């Protein structure tokens, strides 16, 4: 009986060592990846940072996306997803479609639509 407990104790030591090694590798990967990303941000020149800032502003500003049947569609990016509004001679429609997190391995498609008469 003592031999079985010695064997099981050895197995537990080996499995614990493997788990500890995996956690160490994952931790190092996260730290190194974070340092590389932070270093990359620090290495950006002021001009590059300004270009990124201007691109973010342009993306967040409504701009013409398409024109169909006398209606103009505008789009912009905010709150993590695209927004649209359609301007027609008789009405204006604002629409936003996005995925919403609802738990582990779960997301739901959401849509918001606002229609007003002109």
Q: For residues 63 and 39, which has the higher predicted lDDT (pLDDT)?
A: 63
Burial status of residue 71 (CB atoms within 10 A of its CB: 0-12, 13-18, 19 or more): middle
Give the count of domains, the chain. 2
Alpha-carbon distance of 71 to 93, in angstroms, equals 10
Alpha-carbon distance of 62 to 75, in angstroms, equals 5
Confidence at residue 66, expressed as pLDDT on a 0 to 100 scale: 93
Residues 65, 111: one domain? yes
Does residue 54 lie within any of the structural domains?
no
Confidence at residue 12, expressed as pLDDT on a 0 to 100 scale: 66
Residues 76, 38: one domain? no
Residues 108, 71: one domain? yes
- Mean pLDDT computed over 69-77: 90
Confidence at residue 81, expressed as pLDDT on a 0 to 100 scale: 83
Residue 7 above 70 pLDDT?
Answer: no
Confidence at residue 24, expressed as pLDDT on a 0 to 100 scale: 77
Burial status of residue 107 (CB atoms within 10 A of its CB: 0-12, 13-18, 19 or more): exposed
User: How confident is residue 67, by pLDDT bands cut at 50, 70 and 90?
Assistant: very high
| Cβ proximity of 82 and 75 under 8 Å | yes
Phi, psi angle pair for 110, to nearest 5°: -120, 150
DSSP-H helix ranges across 44-116: 46-60
Residue 70 above 80 pLDDT?
Answer: yes
Query: Which residue's entry shows tokens 């201007």?
Result: 54
Residue range of the domain that includes 16: 2-43
How much of the chain exceeds pLDDT 90, in percent? 14
Mean pLDDT, the chain, rounded, equals: 81
């Amino acid at each position: 009986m003592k031999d079985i407990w010695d064997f099981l104790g050895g197995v537990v030591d080996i499995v614990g060592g493997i788990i500890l090694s995996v956690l160490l590798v994952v931790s190092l990967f996260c730290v190194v990846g974070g340092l590389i990303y932070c270093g990359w941000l620090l290495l950006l020149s002021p001009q590059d940072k300004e270009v990124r800032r201007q691109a973010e502003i342009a993306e967040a500003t409504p701009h013409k996306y398409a024109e169909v049947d006398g209606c103009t569609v505008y789009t912009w990016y905010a709150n993590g997803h695209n927004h649209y509004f359609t301007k027609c001679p008789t009405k204006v429609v604002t629409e936003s479609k996005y995925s919403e997190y609802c738990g582990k391995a779960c997301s739901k498609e959401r849509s918001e639509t606002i229609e007003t008469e002109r």
